[in-house]
Structure 1
Protein backbone atom coordinates (compact mmCIF):
# COMPACT_ATOMS: atom_id res chain seq x y z
CA UNK A 1 0.00 0.00 0.00
CA UNK A 2 0.89 3.65 -0.39
CA UNK A 3 0.35 5.39 2.96
CA UNK A 4 0.61 9.15 3.47
CA UNK A 5 1.54 10.27 6.98
CA UNK A 6 0.75 13.82 8.13
CA UNK A 7 3.22 14.65 10.88
CA UNK A 8 5.69 12.07 9.59
CA UNK A 9 8.75 13.53 11.32
CA UNK A 10 7.33 13.65 14.84
CA UNK A 11 7.59 11.05 17.60
CA UNK A 12 4.59 9.01 16.45
CA UNK A 13 4.93 9.81 12.75
CA UNK A 14 8.53 8.67 12.50
CA UNK A 15 7.69 5.45 14.35
CA UNK A 16 4.71 4.86 12.06
CA UNK A 17 6.83 5.51 8.96
CA UNK A 18 9.39 2.94 10.10
CA UNK A 19 6.69 0.38 10.86
CA UNK A 20 4.95 0.93 7.52
CA UNK A 21 8.15 0.64 5.54
CA UNK A 22 9.20 -2.47 7.47
CA UNK A 23 5.86 -4.02 6.50
CA UNK A 24 6.55 -3.31 2.84
CA UNK A 25 4.39 -0.22 2.38
CA UNK A 26 5.38 2.93 0.52
CA UNK A 27 5.32 6.02 2.74
CA UNK A 28 4.50 9.57 1.66
CA UNK A 29 5.87 11.78 4.46
CA UNK A 30 3.92 15.02 4.94
CA UNK A 31 5.64 17.51 7.24
CA UNK A 32 7.25 20.93 7.09
CA UNK A 33 10.61 19.17 6.97
CA UNK A 34 9.55 17.39 3.78
CA UNK A 35 8.16 20.54 2.16
CA UNK A 36 4.50 20.45 3.22
CA UNK A 37 2.64 22.87 5.47
CA UNK A 38 -0.86 21.47 5.97
CA UNK A 39 -2.10 24.96 6.84
CA UNK A 40 -0.97 26.11 3.38
CA UNK A 41 -1.85 23.03 1.36
CA UNK A 42 -0.29 23.86 -2.00
CA UNK A 43 0.65 20.60 -3.71
CA UNK A 44 -1.12 18.46 -1.14
CA UNK A 45 -3.61 16.95 -3.58
CA UNK A 46 -0.80 16.00 -5.95
CA UNK A 47 1.18 14.42 -3.11
CA UNK A 48 -1.81 12.31 -2.07
CA UNK A 49 -2.62 11.03 -5.54
CA UNK A 50 -2.20 7.27 -5.61
CA UNK A 51 -2.26 6.96 -1.81
CA UNK A 52 -4.46 4.21 -0.41
CA UNK A 53 -4.63 5.74 3.05
CA UNK A 54 -3.68 8.91 4.89
CA UNK A 55 -2.87 8.91 8.60
CA UNK A 56 -2.98 12.12 10.64
CA UNK A 57 -0.63 12.10 13.63
CA UNK A 58 0.03 15.84 13.61
CA UNK A 59 0.70 17.68 16.87
CA UNK A 60 -0.49 21.18 17.61
CA UNK A 61 2.31 23.72 18.17
CA UNK A 62 0.48 24.86 21.32
CA UNK A 63 -1.56 23.41 24.18
CA UNK A 64 -3.82 26.48 24.34
CA UNK A 65 -7.39 25.32 23.69
CA UNK A 66 -8.43 28.04 21.25
CA UNK A 67 -5.20 27.99 19.27
CA UNK A 68 -4.97 24.20 19.21
CA UNK A 69 -8.61 23.93 18.12
CA UNK A 70 -8.04 26.39 15.29
CA UNK A 71 -4.92 24.50 14.19
CA UNK A 72 -6.49 21.04 14.24
CA UNK A 73 -9.70 22.19 12.58
CA UNK A 74 -7.97 23.91 9.69
CA UNK A 75 -5.31 21.22 9.24
CA UNK A 76 -7.89 18.41 9.31
CA UNK A 77 -10.12 20.24 6.85
CA UNK A 78 -7.23 20.82 4.45
CA UNK A 79 -5.95 17.26 4.74
CA UNK A 80 -9.38 15.67 4.44
CA UNK A 81 -10.42 17.82 1.48
CA UNK A 82 -7.17 17.10 -0.35
CA UNK A 83 -7.48 13.37 0.36
CA UNK A 84 -11.02 13.33 -1.02
CA UNK A 85 -9.95 15.18 -4.15
CA UNK A 86 -7.01 12.81 -4.64
CA UNK A 87 -9.21 9.73 -4.35
CA UNK A 88 -7.68 8.38 -1.13
CA UNK A 89 -9.71 5.43 0.10
CA UNK A 90 -9.19 5.62 3.87
CA UNK A 91 -8.35 8.28 6.46
CA UNK A 92 -7.11 7.66 10.00
CA UNK A 93 -6.59 10.19 12.80
CA UNK A 94 -4.81 9.56 16.09
CA UNK A 95 -6.61 10.93 19.14
CA UNK A 96 -6.75 10.41 22.90
CA UNK A 97 -9.06 8.27 25.01
CA UNK A 98 -11.56 10.41 26.88
CA UNK A 99 -11.67 13.43 24.56
CA UNK A 100 -15.36 12.93 23.78
CA UNK A 101 -16.40 12.82 27.43
CA UNK A 102 -14.23 15.79 28.36
CA UNK A 103 -15.56 17.82 25.43
CA UNK A 104 -19.14 17.03 26.42
CA UNK A 105 -18.94 18.80 29.78
CA UNK A 106 -17.80 22.11 31.24
CA UNK A 107 -16.58 20.25 34.30
CA UNK A 108 -12.81 20.20 34.73
CA UNK A 109 -11.60 16.63 34.31
CA UNK A 110 -8.32 17.35 36.06
CA UNK A 111 -6.00 16.06 33.35
CA UNK A 112 -4.04 19.29 33.44
CA UNK A 113 -4.67 19.66 29.69
CA UNK A 114 -8.46 19.62 29.40
CA UNK A 115 -8.40 22.33 26.74
CA UNK A 116 -6.08 20.30 24.55
CA UNK A 117 -8.35 17.28 24.91
CA UNK A 118 -11.26 19.38 23.65
CA UNK A 119 -9.10 20.52 20.74
CA UNK A 120 -8.34 16.89 19.88
CA UNK A 121 -12.06 16.13 19.84
CA UNK A 122 -12.53 19.04 17.42
CA UNK A 123 -9.86 17.39 15.26
CA UNK A 124 -11.88 14.16 15.24
CA UNK A 125 -14.99 16.05 14.21
CA UNK A 126 -13.21 17.93 11.42
CA UNK A 127 -11.79 14.67 10.10
CA UNK A 128 -15.23 13.09 10.12
CA UNK A 129 -16.64 16.08 8.25
CA UNK A 130 -14.05 16.32 5.49
CA UNK A 131 -11.95 13.14 5.14
CA UNK A 132 -12.89 10.12 3.01
CA UNK A 133 -13.76 6.98 5.02
CA UNK A 134 -12.65 8.43 8.40
CA UNK A 135 -11.39 6.17 11.20
CA UNK A 136 -10.35 7.27 14.69
CA UNK A 137 -7.75 5.60 16.89
CA UNK A 138 -7.82 6.82 20.50
CA UNK A 139 -4.77 6.05 22.61
CA UNK A 140 -3.92 6.21 26.28
CA UNK A 141 -0.89 8.20 27.40
CA UNK A 142 2.57 7.07 26.36
CA UNK A 143 5.06 5.67 28.86
CA UNK A 144 7.13 8.84 28.63
CA UNK A 145 4.40 10.75 30.44
CA UNK A 146 6.22 9.66 33.59
CA UNK A 147 9.14 11.91 32.64
CA UNK A 148 7.00 14.73 31.29
CA UNK A 149 4.83 14.93 34.39
CA UNK A 150 7.86 15.58 36.59
CA UNK A 151 8.46 18.82 34.74
CA UNK A 152 4.86 20.06 34.80
CA UNK A 153 4.85 21.10 38.46
CA UNK A 154 8.53 21.05 39.32
CA UNK A 155 9.95 23.61 41.73
CA UNK A 156 13.55 22.80 42.55
CA UNK A 157 13.77 19.40 44.18
CA UNK A 158 10.00 18.99 44.48
CA UNK A 159 7.24 18.39 41.94
CA UNK A 160 3.49 17.90 41.98
CA UNK A 161 2.12 15.23 39.63
CA UNK A 162 -1.61 14.70 39.00
CA UNK A 163 -2.87 11.77 41.07
CA UNK A 164 -4.39 10.00 38.11
CA UNK A 165 -4.54 6.39 36.99
CA UNK A 166 -3.62 5.65 33.39
CA UNK A 167 -2.89 2.58 31.30
CA UNK A 168 0.24 3.76 29.48
CA UNK A 169 1.26 2.35 26.13
CA UNK A 170 4.53 2.13 24.21
CA UNK A 171 4.59 4.31 21.10
CA UNK A 172 5.89 1.53 18.85
CA UNK A 173 3.18 -0.86 20.05
CA UNK A 174 0.42 1.72 19.59
CA UNK A 175 1.72 2.41 16.07
CA UNK A 176 1.13 -1.20 15.08
CA UNK A 177 -2.57 -0.75 15.88
CA UNK A 178 -2.61 2.53 13.97
CA UNK A 179 -1.04 0.81 10.97
CA UNK A 180 -3.55 -2.03 11.18
CA UNK A 181 -6.43 0.44 10.99
CA UNK A 182 -4.78 2.26 8.07
CA UNK A 183 -4.43 -0.96 6.07
CA UNK A 184 -7.90 -2.21 6.98
CA UNK A 185 -6.57 -5.23 8.86
CA UNK A 186 -8.21 -3.82 11.99
CA UNK A 187 -11.88 -3.02 11.45
CA UNK A 188 -14.06 -0.36 13.02
CA UNK A 189 -14.58 3.37 12.72
CA UNK A 190 -13.32 3.86 16.28
CA UNK A 191 -10.59 1.87 18.01
CA UNK A 192 -9.00 2.31 21.42
CA UNK A 193 -5.49 1.23 22.33
CA UNK A 194 -3.72 1.09 25.69
CA UNK A 195 -1.02 -0.68 27.60
CA UNK A 196 -1.36 -3.97 29.46
CA UNK A 197 -1.86 -2.61 32.98
CA UNK A 198 -3.09 0.33 35.03
CA UNK A 199 -0.53 2.56 36.68
CA UNK A 200 -0.51 5.51 39.08
CA UNK A 201 1.12 8.49 37.37
CA UNK A 202 2.60 9.58 40.69
CA UNK A 203 4.20 6.18 41.16
CA UNK A 204 5.35 6.13 37.53
CA UNK A 205 7.06 9.51 37.87
CA UNK A 206 8.70 8.51 41.13
CA UNK A 207 10.01 5.31 39.56
CA UNK A 208 11.26 7.19 36.50
CA UNK A 209 13.10 9.72 38.63
CA UNK A 210 14.81 7.05 40.68
CA UNK A 211 15.79 5.04 37.59
CA UNK A 212 17.58 8.06 36.15
CA UNK A 213 19.21 9.22 39.39
CA UNK A 214 16.86 12.18 39.90
CA UNK A 215 16.20 12.77 43.61
CA UNK A 216 13.13 14.94 43.06
CA UNK A 217 10.35 14.47 45.62
CA UNK A 218 7.10 13.60 43.82
CA UNK A 219 3.84 14.66 45.47
CA UNK A 220 0.37 13.69 44.26
CA UNK A 221 -1.80 16.57 43.06
CA UNK A 222 -5.60 16.75 42.87
CA UNK A 223 -7.64 15.60 39.88
CA UNK A 224 -11.30 15.97 38.91
CA UNK A 225 -14.15 13.51 39.20
CA UNK A 226 -13.93 12.49 35.53
CA UNK A 227 -10.34 11.37 35.95
CA UNK A 228 -11.14 9.55 39.19
CA UNK A 229 -14.01 7.84 37.33
CA UNK A 230 -11.59 6.52 34.68
CA UNK A 231 -12.12 8.88 31.74
CA UNK A 232 -8.54 8.24 30.58
CA UNK A 233 -8.78 4.46 30.70
CA UNK A 234 -9.52 2.16 27.74
CA UNK A 235 -12.91 0.54 27.58
CA UNK A 236 -14.06 -2.98 26.82
CA UNK A 237 -12.76 -4.23 23.48
CA UNK A 238 -9.70 -1.97 23.43
CA UNK A 239 -6.44 -3.23 21.97
CA UNK A 240 -4.12 -3.80 24.95
CA UNK A 241 -0.50 -4.08 23.86
CA UNK A 242 2.83 -4.41 25.65
CA UNK A 243 5.44 -3.84 26.86
CA UNK A 244 4.44 -2.90 30.38
CA UNK A 245 5.62 0.30 32.02
CA UNK A 246 8.06 -1.69 34.17
CA UNK A 247 9.57 -3.31 31.08
CA UNK A 248 9.85 0.06 29.34
CA UNK A 249 11.42 1.64 32.42
CA UNK A 250 13.99 -1.16 32.63
CA UNK A 251 15.08 -0.19 29.13
CA UNK A 252 15.36 3.46 30.15
CA UNK A 253 17.46 2.53 33.19
CA UNK A 254 19.73 0.34 31.07
CA UNK A 255 20.22 3.13 28.54
CA UNK A 256 20.97 5.62 31.33
CA UNK A 257 23.52 3.27 32.92
CA UNK A 258 25.24 2.74 29.57
CA UNK A 259 25.99 6.44 29.09
Structure 2
Protein backbone atom coordinates (compact mmCIF):
# COMPACT_ATOMS: atom_id res chain seq x y z
CA UNK A 1 0.00 0.00 0.00
CA UNK A 2 0.97 3.65 -0.34
CA UNK A 3 1.49 5.51 2.96
CA UNK A 4 2.15 9.23 3.40
CA UNK A 5 3.95 10.32 6.57
CA UNK A 6 3.44 13.84 7.93
CA UNK A 7 6.48 14.66 10.06
CA UNK A 8 8.63 12.04 8.35
CA UNK A 9 11.93 13.48 9.65
CA UNK A 10 10.96 13.54 13.35
CA UNK A 11 11.86 11.05 16.08
CA UNK A 12 8.91 8.75 15.31
CA UNK A 13 8.47 9.79 11.68
CA UNK A 14 11.88 8.49 10.64
CA UNK A 15 11.12 5.14 12.24
CA UNK A 16 7.65 4.96 10.67
CA UNK A 17 9.29 5.62 7.30
CA UNK A 18 11.89 2.90 7.85
CA UNK A 19 9.42 0.28 9.12
CA UNK A 20 6.84 0.95 6.42
CA UNK A 21 9.56 0.61 3.78
CA UNK A 22 10.83 -2.61 5.36
CA UNK A 23 7.30 -4.01 5.14
CA UNK A 24 7.19 -3.29 1.43
CA UNK A 25 5.00 -0.21 1.41
CA UNK A 26 5.43 2.72 -0.94
CA UNK A 27 6.17 5.76 1.26
CA UNK A 28 5.51 9.45 0.59
CA UNK A 29 7.56 11.60 2.98
CA UNK A 30 5.85 14.87 3.92
CA UNK A 31 8.37 17.24 5.51
CA UNK A 32 9.66 20.79 5.20
CA UNK A 33 12.91 19.42 3.84
CA UNK A 34 10.91 18.01 0.93
CA UNK A 35 9.11 21.30 0.32
CA UNK A 36 5.97 20.53 2.34
CA UNK A 37 5.18 23.30 4.82
CA UNK A 38 2.05 21.74 6.26
CA UNK A 39 1.46 24.60 8.68
CA UNK A 40 1.67 27.59 6.36
CA UNK A 41 0.85 26.28 2.89
CA UNK A 42 -1.80 24.09 1.35
CA UNK A 43 -0.73 20.62 0.32
CA UNK A 44 -1.47 19.93 -3.36
CA UNK A 45 -3.75 16.85 -3.59
CA UNK A 46 -1.42 15.50 -6.30
CA UNK A 47 1.20 14.85 -3.60
CA UNK A 48 -1.21 12.29 -2.13
CA UNK A 49 -2.01 10.63 -5.44
CA UNK A 50 -2.83 6.93 -4.86
CA UNK A 51 -2.12 7.27 -1.11
CA UNK A 52 -4.16 4.82 0.95
CA UNK A 53 -3.28 6.08 4.43
CA UNK A 54 -1.75 9.21 5.97
CA UNK A 55 0.20 8.76 9.21
CA UNK A 56 0.33 12.09 11.06
CA UNK A 57 3.27 12.23 13.46
CA UNK A 58 3.93 15.93 12.91
CA UNK A 59 5.14 17.93 15.88
CA UNK A 60 6.55 21.20 17.14
CA UNK A 61 8.95 22.03 19.97
CA UNK A 62 7.14 24.56 22.14
CA UNK A 63 5.49 24.87 25.56
CA UNK A 64 3.09 27.52 24.28
CA UNK A 65 -0.53 26.37 24.17
CA UNK A 66 -1.38 29.02 21.59
CA UNK A 67 1.55 28.14 19.35
CA UNK A 68 1.01 24.40 19.52
CA UNK A 69 -2.74 24.72 18.90
CA UNK A 70 -2.15 26.90 15.87
CA UNK A 71 0.37 24.42 14.50
CA UNK A 72 -1.70 21.28 14.93
CA UNK A 73 -4.95 22.84 13.75
CA UNK A 74 -3.27 24.18 10.61
CA UNK A 75 -1.49 20.92 9.81
CA UNK A 76 -4.67 18.91 10.40
CA UNK A 77 -6.74 21.20 8.20
CA UNK A 78 -4.23 20.90 5.35
CA UNK A 79 -4.04 17.12 5.62
CA UNK A 80 -7.83 16.81 5.75
CA UNK A 81 -8.34 19.06 2.74
CA UNK A 82 -5.67 17.46 0.55
CA UNK A 83 -6.50 13.94 1.73
CA UNK A 84 -10.20 14.32 0.99
CA UNK A 85 -9.50 15.76 -2.47
CA UNK A 86 -7.09 12.90 -3.24
CA UNK A 87 -9.48 10.20 -2.04
CA UNK A 88 -7.35 9.02 0.90
CA UNK A 89 -9.26 6.44 2.92
CA UNK A 90 -7.54 6.53 6.31
CA UNK A 91 -5.77 8.99 8.61
CA UNK A 92 -3.72 7.65 11.55
CA UNK A 93 -2.71 10.27 14.11
CA UNK A 94 -0.45 10.11 17.18
CA UNK A 95 -1.27 11.78 20.50
CA UNK A 96 -0.26 11.48 24.17
CA UNK A 97 -1.75 9.34 26.96
CA UNK A 98 -3.34 10.96 29.99
CA UNK A 99 -3.90 14.48 28.65
CA UNK A 100 -7.68 14.65 29.12
CA UNK A 101 -8.51 17.87 30.95
CA UNK A 102 -4.97 19.25 30.62
CA UNK A 103 -5.68 22.01 28.12
CA UNK A 104 -2.37 23.72 28.80
CA UNK A 105 1.02 24.19 27.15
CA UNK A 106 1.89 21.53 24.55
CA UNK A 107 -0.88 19.24 25.76
CA UNK A 108 -3.45 21.87 24.83
CA UNK A 109 -2.15 21.67 21.28
CA UNK A 110 -2.41 17.89 21.24
CA UNK A 111 -6.00 18.04 22.49
CA UNK A 112 -6.76 20.46 19.64
CA UNK A 113 -5.04 18.02 17.29
CA UNK A 114 -7.27 15.18 18.47
CA UNK A 115 -10.43 17.26 18.03
CA UNK A 116 -9.38 18.22 14.49
CA UNK A 117 -8.80 14.56 13.59
CA UNK A 118 -12.11 13.45 15.09
CA UNK A 119 -14.24 16.08 13.40
CA UNK A 120 -12.49 15.82 10.03
CA UNK A 121 -13.92 14.15 6.94
CA UNK A 122 -11.21 11.47 6.70
CA UNK A 123 -11.91 8.13 8.41
CA UNK A 124 -9.41 8.03 11.25
CA UNK A 125 -7.52 6.07 13.86
CA UNK A 126 -6.20 7.98 16.88
CA UNK A 127 -3.41 6.42 18.95
CA UNK A 128 -2.36 7.84 22.29
CA UNK A 129 1.13 6.75 23.33
CA UNK A 130 3.28 7.39 26.39
CA UNK A 131 6.40 9.52 26.42
CA UNK A 132 9.30 7.97 24.53
CA UNK A 133 12.53 6.72 26.09
CA UNK A 134 14.10 9.41 23.90
CA UNK A 135 12.39 12.01 26.11
CA UNK A 136 15.31 11.77 28.54
CA UNK A 137 17.70 13.07 25.88
CA UNK A 138 15.33 15.90 24.97
CA UNK A 139 15.01 16.87 28.65
CA UNK A 140 18.76 16.86 29.07
CA UNK A 141 19.12 19.35 26.21
CA UNK A 142 16.18 21.59 27.05
CA UNK A 143 16.86 21.75 30.79
CA UNK A 144 20.50 22.77 30.55
CA UNK A 145 21.18 25.90 32.60
CA UNK A 146 24.88 26.55 32.83
CA UNK A 147 26.49 23.80 34.93
CA UNK A 148 23.21 22.16 35.94
CA UNK A 149 20.23 20.50 34.28
CA UNK A 150 16.73 21.19 35.56
CA UNK A 151 14.40 18.22 35.11
CA UNK A 152 10.61 18.53 35.44
CA UNK A 153 9.11 16.32 38.15
CA UNK A 154 7.41 13.61 36.12
CA UNK A 155 6.15 10.07 36.71
CA UNK A 156 5.94 8.34 33.35
CA UNK A 157 5.64 4.89 31.77
CA UNK A 158 7.97 5.45 28.80
CA UNK A 159 8.14 3.42 25.61
CA UNK A 160 10.69 3.04 22.83
CA UNK A 161 9.84 5.23 19.85
CA UNK A 162 10.44 2.25 17.56
CA UNK A 163 7.68 0.27 19.27
CA UNK A 164 5.30 3.20 18.76
CA UNK A 165 6.31 3.43 15.10
CA UNK A 166 5.72 -0.29 14.57
CA UNK A 167 2.27 0.05 16.13
CA UNK A 168 1.43 3.03 13.92
CA UNK A 169 2.36 1.17 10.75
CA UNK A 170 0.25 -1.80 11.83
CA UNK A 171 -2.70 0.52 12.42
CA UNK A 172 -2.09 2.15 9.02
CA UNK A 173 -2.28 -1.27 7.39
CA UNK A 174 -5.71 -1.88 8.88
CA UNK A 175 -9.12 -0.25 8.75
CA UNK A 176 -10.00 2.98 10.63
CA UNK A 177 -11.02 2.22 14.22
CA UNK A 178 -11.53 5.68 15.71
CA UNK A 179 -9.84 5.72 19.12
CA UNK A 180 -7.32 2.87 19.29
CA UNK A 181 -6.25 1.28 22.53
CA UNK A 182 -3.61 3.39 24.30
CA UNK A 183 0.03 2.31 24.15
CA UNK A 184 2.48 2.67 27.05
CA UNK A 185 5.82 1.29 28.13
CA UNK A 186 6.45 -1.79 30.29
CA UNK A 187 7.23 -0.11 33.63
CA UNK A 188 7.00 3.13 35.60
CA UNK A 189 9.92 5.53 35.73
CA UNK A 190 10.80 8.91 37.22
CA UNK A 191 12.10 11.31 34.58
CA UNK A 192 14.91 12.49 36.88
CA UNK A 193 16.12 8.86 37.19
CA UNK A 194 16.04 8.45 33.42
CA UNK A 195 18.12 11.59 32.87
CA UNK A 196 20.65 10.57 35.52
CA UNK A 197 20.94 7.08 34.04
CA UNK A 198 21.55 8.62 30.63
CA UNK A 199 24.34 10.81 32.02
CA UNK A 200 25.92 7.83 33.83
CA UNK A 201 25.82 5.75 30.64
CA UNK A 202 27.73 8.48 28.84
CA UNK A 203 30.21 9.01 31.64
CA UNK A 204 29.09 12.62 32.12
CA UNK A 205 29.27 14.23 35.57
CA UNK A 206 26.55 16.86 35.78
CA UNK A 207 24.32 18.18 38.54
CA UNK A 208 20.62 17.50 37.96
CA UNK A 209 17.82 19.14 39.91
CA UNK A 210 14.21 18.00 39.88
CA UNK A 211 11.64 20.82 39.78
CA UNK A 212 7.86 20.67 39.75
CA UNK A 213 6.51 22.86 36.95
CA UNK A 214 3.61 25.21 37.76
CA UNK A 215 -0.01 24.97 36.63
CA UNK A 216 -2.04 22.09 35.25
CA UNK A 217 0.81 21.14 32.89
CA UNK A 218 3.20 20.61 35.79
CA UNK A 219 0.58 18.84 37.88
CA UNK A 220 -0.14 16.43 35.04
CA UNK A 221 3.53 15.53 34.76
CA UNK A 222 4.17 15.06 38.48
CA UNK A 223 0.87 13.31 39.30
CA UNK A 224 1.54 10.22 37.25
CA UNK A 225 -1.51 10.62 35.02
CA UNK A 226 0.79 10.62 31.99
CA UNK A 227 1.51 6.95 32.67
CA UNK A 228 -1.79 6.10 31.01
CA UNK A 229 -4.46 3.64 32.09
CA UNK A 230 -3.88 0.13 33.41
CA UNK A 231 -5.73 -1.37 30.44
CA UNK A 232 -3.36 0.15 27.86
CA UNK A 233 -1.30 -2.05 25.58
CA UNK A 234 2.27 -2.34 26.84
CA UNK A 235 5.54 -2.19 24.99
CA UNK A 236 8.29 -4.63 25.95
CA UNK A 237 11.55 -2.64 25.90
CA UNK A 238 12.41 -1.05 29.25
CA UNK A 239 14.31 2.22 29.50
CA UNK A 240 17.35 0.37 30.88
CA UNK A 241 17.31 -2.06 27.94
CA UNK A 242 16.89 0.77 25.46
CA UNK A 243 19.73 2.71 27.05
CA UNK A 244 22.04 -0.30 26.99
CA UNK A 245 21.33 -0.76 23.28
CA UNK A 246 22.42 2.83 22.55
CA UNK A 247 26.01 2.20 23.64
TM-score normalised by length of structure 1: 0.86
Aligned partner of residue 37 in structure 1, secondary structure: coil
| Local SS of the residue matching 1:66 | helix
Q: Which moved more, 1:208-217 or 1:150-159?
A: 150-159
Q: Distance in 1 between matches of 2:17 and 2:143?
A: 33
* Runs of 4+ with >6 A deviation: none
| 3-state secondary structure, aligned to 1:191 | coil
Relative to 1, partners in 2 of residues 1:54 and 1:10: Cα closer, same or farther, differing over 3 Å?
same
Residues in 2 aligned to 1:234 and 1:35: alpha-carbon distance in whole angstroms = 36
- What is residue 67 of structure 2 aligned with on the other side? 67
Q: Output aligned runs, 1:127-138, within 5 Å.
A: 127-138=117-128
Could you tell me how far 1:186 is from its partner in structure 2? 8.9
Partner of 1:241: 235
Question: How far apart are 1:206 and its partner, in Å?
Answer: 1.0
**Deviation of the 1:99 alpha carbon:** 2.4
Cα distance in 2 between the residues matched to 1:160 and 1:42: 39
CA distance in 2, matches of 1:187, 1:130: 14
Match of 2:41 in 1: 40
In the TM superposition, residue 150 of structure 1 has moved relative to its aligned partner by: 2.7
Taking the TM superposition and a 5 Å limit, the aligned residue runs for 1:200-219 are 200-219=190-209
Cα distance between partner residues in 1 of 2:222 and 2:75: 33
Query: Alignment length, in residue pairs?
Result: 242
Structure 2: gaps (5+ residues) = none
CA displacement at 1:188 relative to structure 2: 5.1
Which residue does 1:109 correspond to in 2?
Answer: none
1:61: how far off?
5.3
- Which secondary structure does the structure 1 equivalent of 2:183 belong to? strand
1:4-58, CA deviations, whole angstroms, 9 ceiling, x for partnerless residues? 1111122211110110011111111111222222231242x11213111111111
TM-score with structure 2 setting the length:
0.90
Which residue of 1 is the match for residue 99 of structure 2?
A: 99
Q: Which residue of 1 aligns with 2:226?
A: 232
String of CA shifts for 1:137-162, please: whole Å, max 9, x gaps: 11111112222223343333332312
Query: In structure 1, what is the equivalent of residue 148 of structure 2?
Result: 158
What CA deviation, in whole Å up to 9, does each residue of 1:75-121 have, x standing for no partner? 10110121122111111111111222312xxxxxxxxxx41110111
Alignment-derived partner of residue 28 in structure 2 = 28
What is the root-mean-square deviation in Å for CA atoms of aligned residues?
2.0
Which range is displaced more, 169-178 or 219-228?
219-228
> What residue is the counterpart of 2:88 in the other structure?
88
Distance in 1 (alpha carbons) for counterparts of 2:139 and 2:196: 10
